Amino acid sequence: MNGDPSSDPSRGVDGGLGVDTASDLADLDHTPEQMAAMGRAVLDMVVAHQKEVMHAPCRGGVQADDVCRAIRQPLPPEQGREIEEVLRPLFDDWVKRSFTTPGPGYMAFVPGGGLFSSVLASLVGEGTNRFTGIFAAAPALVQLEGDVLDWLAGWMQYPAEARGLLTTGGSMANFSAIVVARETLLGQQLRDGVLYTSTQVHHCVTKSARMAGILADRVRMVPVDAHYRMRMDALAEAIAADRAAGLKPFLVVSSAGTTNTGAVDPLPAINTLCHEQGLWHHCDGAYGAMFHMVPELRGVLDGLSQTDSLTLDPHKGMFLPYGTGALLVRDGARLKAAHGASAGYLPDAADEEFYDPAQYGPELSRDYRGLKVWLPLQVLGAARFRAAVHEKYLLAQECAEAVSRIPGVVMDTWPELSLFSFHLTRPRAGAGAEAPAAEPADLAEENRLTRALMEGVIRRGRVMLSGCEVDGRFLGRVCILCFRSRRAQMEACVEDLASAAAELLAGA
Ligand SMILES: Cc1ncc(COP(=O)(O)O)c(C=O)c1O
């Protein structure tokens, strides 16, 4: 069969496939005028939303099963509609049925961000839609991503030979790190390899271990001390026991800021132990690593720049919209050895001088992630990022001081970075309001009170908090990392915690 459809008896003048090739139906493009009008309509809606989010309730109506059932479409529409009409219910209703994650009062979990310049970078990335998975296809665009990785490495004080990878988030960065450590130290002998992490690690690490072929019986959850940091004595003992059993310890995954309480593991001691024992030290800094950008705060993260690999999450500590994580590997050649590949249908990989994403990570086609980090840094400048990260640290210290003075609140952890935890107890009858609880209610009662405290604050609408359960105790948490959270929101947080606590202790 040649390329002329009319020479193929199975095809008619319309191509023989039931498709009229001359019809407008097959033309999916819009005219420049239509694009401009559609773009303006959508941008107006997005900007109106950005304005609204400053005053929106911190948690919308997330009990939305009926709404989900009502909007379910078993089939896509056959005919298209105006984009404004399509998006109207999304902005008027569906978006509002959510945690207001980019709102100033969002201090739950680990806040993300949503800097507007990064939003526009997504538009530019997809509006130009170039292939940035390999250097050869768009060298100058990929160079911007290479710059971003170098800047991240510089802030983390990683050496010049470090290389990295922009991922969709911290989870995928941790996954690739485990693969690199496994490839470097275990080769084909996966079964005996043992990974060590603390009981407080983010669950994506154990999930990643499983995806990387490290089975559950080769993952050790090392106990923590009173500050929820990995216990070095327990780590050393676990490694020795595994060696004695003929297994091969190969990786310690520490946390630079746990999700539960913000604890920073003893990074220098873990570096030393891993060095002595020939283990890889990967640090999950998805929450906390960005604080290393601020020279005054580097002491809290001492040892971070000597780790073998490091996860960062620009969609947390750089306030970007969801979808941008990062992995740095100290010896960049290791990252490349674990992920590099070639194929007959692909152009040659770039020279060592240039960064070539597909050689350093698992993906080929991908969104243009580099621009989402590069553009905000160009528009705002690095100094403003440092100032904002530093401010979140300082606000957390002030906020923790004020929260600790609320009658009935017992601090469980003070902020090492910008996260602290606490619980509510009933102060001793007859004691002054500031007196510590001498006869604490039992754990179940304190847990009930603390859960109710979180809910009471959220119900007031200004501040969204979340708690966590650690060893049977429910902890309230405040995590300050939204770029829109400023002093006014700290004050709101303290006021609402104080009034909700007073209400509970009076009524309960
Ligand atoms: C410490 C830590 N590690 C990893 C992750 C997972 O990151 P992501 O949600 O970006 O995949 C989180 C998310 O909050 C985290 O707090």
What phi, psi does 478 have (nearest 5°)?
A: -125, 125
pLDDT value of position 1:
31
Residue 319 pLDDT greater than 80, yes or no: yes
**What is the pLDDT of the chain when averaged over all its residues?**
94
The verdict on the CB of residue 259 being under 6 Å from ligand 1 is yes
What value, to the nearest 5°, has the Cα angle with vertex 144 and ends 142 and 147? 115
Residue 432 has a pLDDT of 44
Which of the four pLDDT bands, split at 50, 70 and 90, describes residue 325? very high
Q: How many A from CA of 69 to the centre of ligand 1?
A: 30
Please report, for residues 127, 134, 225, 487, the alpha-carbon distance to residue 373 in angstroms, rounded to integers and kept in the order given.
17, 18, 36, 26
pLDDT band at 6 (very low <50, low <70, confident <90, very high): very low
Residue 19 has pLDDT above 80, yes or no: no
pLDDT for the residue 10: 44
Q: Using the mean position of ligand 1's atoms as its centre, give its distance from the Cα of residue 172 in Å.
A: 9
Whether the CB of 280 sits within 6 Å of ligand 1: no
pLDDT band at 3 (very low <50, low <70, confident <90, very high): very low
- Are 212 and 179 spatial neighbours (Cβ–Cβ below 8 Å)? yes
Residue identifier of the C-alpha nearest atom 16 of ligand 1:
259
Q: How far apart are CA 218 and CA 233, in angstroms?
A: 19
Distance 319 CA to ligand 1 centre (A): 14
What pLDDT was estimated at residue 427?
81
Residues 403-415 have a mean pLDDT of: 98
Q: What is the pLDDT of residues 358-385, one digit of tens each?
A: 999 999 999 999 999 999 999 999 999 9
Minimum-distance ligand 1 atom for the alpha carbon of 255 = 1
| CB of 204 closer than 6 angstroms to any ligand 1 atom | yes
Per-residue H/E/C for 133-193: CCHHHCHHHHHHHHHHHHHHHHHCCCCCCCEEEEECCHHHHHHHHHHHHHHHHCCCCCCCE
More confident residue, 187 or 9: 187
15 pLDDT exceeds 60?
Answer: no
Q: Output the pLDDT for position 22.
A: 73
110 in contact with ligand 1, CB cutoff 6 A? yes
Q: Is the pLDDT of residue 387 over 80?
A: yes
Asked if 508 and 449 count as a contact pair (C-beta separation under 8 A), the reply is yes
Does residue 282's CB lie within 6 angstroms of at least one atom of ligand 1?
A: no
- What is the CB neighbour count within 10 angstroms for residue 27? 8
Q: Is the CB of 202 under 6 A from ligand 1?
A: yes
pLDDT confidence of residue 78? 96
How many CA within 13 A on the CB side of residue 137? 16
The predicted structure's pLDDT at residue 23: 77
| Cβ–Cβ under 8 Å, residues 373 and 314 | yes
Q: Is 284 in the pocket of ligand 1 (CB under 6 A)?
A: yes
Reported as half-sphere exposure (CB side, CA atoms, 13 A), residue 500 has a value of 27
- Residue 18's pLDDT is 63
Coil, strand, or helix at residue 468? strand
Q: pLDDT tens, 419-452?
A: 999 999 998 655 444 444 445 558 999 999 999 9
Question: What are the backbone angles phi and psi of residue 84, rounded to the nearest 5°?
Answer: -65, -45
* Strands of the 325-329 sheet, one edge to the other: 163-167, 325-329, 309-312, 280-284, 248-255, 193-198, 219-222
Which amino acid makes up residue 416?
E
Structure-block tokens of residue 129: 């839609």
Region 252-259: mean pLDDT is 98
Q: Is the pLDDT of residue 251 over 80?
A: yes
CB 152 within 8 A of CB 330: no
Ligand 1 mutation target, pool 107, 109, 198, 204, most atoms within 8 A of CB: 204
pLDDT of 142 over the 70 cut: yes
CB–CB of 105/479 below 8 Å? no
Q: Kindly report, residue by residue over 481-496, the tens digit of the pLDDT.
A: 999 999 999 999 999 9
Identify the structural domains of the chain with CATH numbers, from first to last. Answer: 120-380 (3.40.640.10), 385-507 (3.90.1150.170)
pLDDT of residue 507: 85
For the segment 226-241, the average pLDDT, to the nearest whole number, is: 98
Rounded mean pLDDT of 115-141? 98
Alpha-carbon gap, residue 51 to 48, rounded angstroms: 5
Q: Which atom of ligand 1 is nearest to the CA of 172?
A: 11
